[in-house]
Structures are given as C-alpha cells and as structure tokens.
Amino acid sequence: MTTMPRTNPVSVCGYHIRESGATPAQEMAYAFLIANAYIDETARRGYDPEEFVGRFSFNLNIFGNLWEQVAKFRAGRKVWATNLKDKYGVQNPKNLMLRGLFAGGGSGLTKAEPENNIMRGAFYGLAAALAGAQTTALCSFDEAYAIPTPRSALLSLRTLQLLMDEVGMRDTVDPLAGSYFVETLTKQMEEKIGEEMAEIEEHGGIVKAVADGYMGRKLARQAYEFERDVQKGELIKVGVNKYATEEEAEVELHQYEEAWGEHQIRDLKELRRTRDAGAVAASLGALEQTARKGDNVMPALVEACKAYATVGEMADVFRQVYGEFHEPSIF
C-alpha cells in the first residue's frame, strides 16, 4: 500500500462463480470467503487489516429476479461489514464499505429472441441502482452468442444513461428503504449467505474447497440442474420456454479483423527490440528473488513495468516460483 497507495490491490470476483452455477447467496458467500483468505495471508505477513481492507473491491453479478438481486446486495453489505468487524476488528466505517462493480450477467441472456436481452439488461441496471451500486456495467444483448458489436455496446451505455437521466435512479439514495417486502428478503438473504459461508468453513475453508474440487463439483451440479430446469420449463425464460416463437432471429456477429492481431504483434516485437534488455532481465531477476523470499512483490512488479517487461514475462516468473494450479476433476 505504501508503494501504490491509491491502488485497489485486488478485485474479488463473485461474478464468474455465479455464472458457473452458484446461487445468489453462494456468489456472495464465496466471494467473501475468498476475500477473507486474502486478508488472512496478508495479516500473516504482518499487516493490520485496517491498513488495507478499505481498498478491496468486488466484481459481482446481476441476473434473475429483480427483488432477489436487490436483497442480495443489501444483505451483502451487512454481512461484509459484520465479517470485517467481528473477524478482523476493523472499525473505520470507510473500510467497512462493500465497494465494487455490480454488472449485468451474461448467463441471464438468451440466444433465442436476442432483442429481449435489451430489456433484460435494463432490469439488471435497475436492480443495481436499487441495490445501491457504486459502479455498474451491462452485458450487451448479443453476448449470448458473440462479443459485443459497437451498436450493442452503445445500447448498453444508453440503457444506463436513461436510468440515470430520465428514469430518475439518482434522485434518492435508497428508494426502497423501509419496504417490508425488501427488508424481509434482505434478512432471508443474509441468513442464506451465512449458511453458505458456514458450510464451506466446515469443509475446511475456501482454499481447500477449491483445491479438492468440492466447490467445483457443487457448482457443476447446480449448473446442470439450472439448464435442466430451463429445458423442462420449470425455470421460465421468456422467448425460450414460454411465449417462444418459431422464427429464427437475424443476428449481427462481431467481425474479427486479422489486422488487429497483426498490429499488436508488430507493436510487441518493436517494444522488445527497443527496450533495454539488460534492465528487463534485472527487473525480472529481482522479481523472482522477491517471490522466492516471500516478500512483498509489488515494488518489484512496479520496477519490472518501468523496464517494459511484459505481463507474460512477469507471469512466467510466478509460474517458475509457484508452479501452476491444475483444476481438480469435478466428475
């Protein structure tokens, strides 16, 4: 933190966990447990959590029932703050905030009747605003089958701008405050998040649950059950298993330009030709020594960046020191 004091050192991602089959409560629970693992390791190295947890951020997912998503984030803020207070003794109110990006989830989108995804995205943005998001991003309507086109990305941007400037989602901080319905859902979600955290802790912690495949098996089963329920019509997807039409929609695909890749390769070759090869080697050597000693690698990474070492070269150092993680079998 002294080397890069205004940097968010980590963005804890629950987004991909939700996309992999997690329930909303599991998404929050697993993200918080991952964050705790980072805190525990950093504290083991002699740092006070009060010094650094205020710079943690989260990347979290939005799709599904509007009210469930609102309750998830409202409950998540309380669980995270309570976790930091009770487990780590954090007191500064700013450090107790749940900071992050609440983003519209691609798993909620459908290839069938893709224009429906425009409306879905609007409701995802609405859920984020009602849940108190600091930052929001929307997946584009064509992300069910391709990376976004410029047109679809612009529509996502305009959706958020409409919510801000026409619909009035910036007019008040918490329009749902005091709602019996929302408060009840929030309390229920808080309890579910706690139960999911307790289950993983009983298994031996989040690191063990990832390493031995326990979490992967659980999510894979749930992802299968989700898809099965969609196919059976038990989980409603409008335009897919309810109100569906036989018409095949015309879709515009993102056009890959081979010249872009060639341009990047030329730039990389030029960088390697013109940079100081001795400075690069020295910075990577210093990074390796720092990693092997178990010291703070951030200063060494900064120096490597200044020498124009590439991300791949820095990552290779870590592979040499720590090895590579291989996913356990989940079947």
pLDDT beyond 80 at 214: yes
- pLDDT classification of 206: cutoffs 50, 70, 90: very high
pLDDT of residue 167: 94
For 100-129, letters b (16+ CB in 10 Å) and e give bbbbbbebbbbebbbebbbebbbbbbbbbb
Angstrom distance (rounded) from CA 239 to CA 111? 9
pLDDT band with cut points at 50, 70 and 90 for residue 1:
low
Over residues 277-286, the mean pLDDT reads: 98
Delimit the domains of the chain by residue range.
11-232, 258-322
57-111 pLDDT per residue, tens: 999 999 999 999 999 999 999 999 999 999 999 999 999 999 989 998 888 999 8
Average pLDDT score, the chain: 93
Identity (one letter) of the amino acid at 272?
Answer: R
| Candidate CATH numbers 3.90.1150.10, 3.40.50.970, 3.20.20.240, 3.30.1490.100; the one for domain 11-232 | 3.20.20.240
Q: Is the pLDDT of residue 134 over 90?
A: no
pLDDT bin (cut points 50, 70, 90) of residue 2 is low
User: Which range, 4-13, 147-156, 245-254, is most confident?
Assistant: 147-156
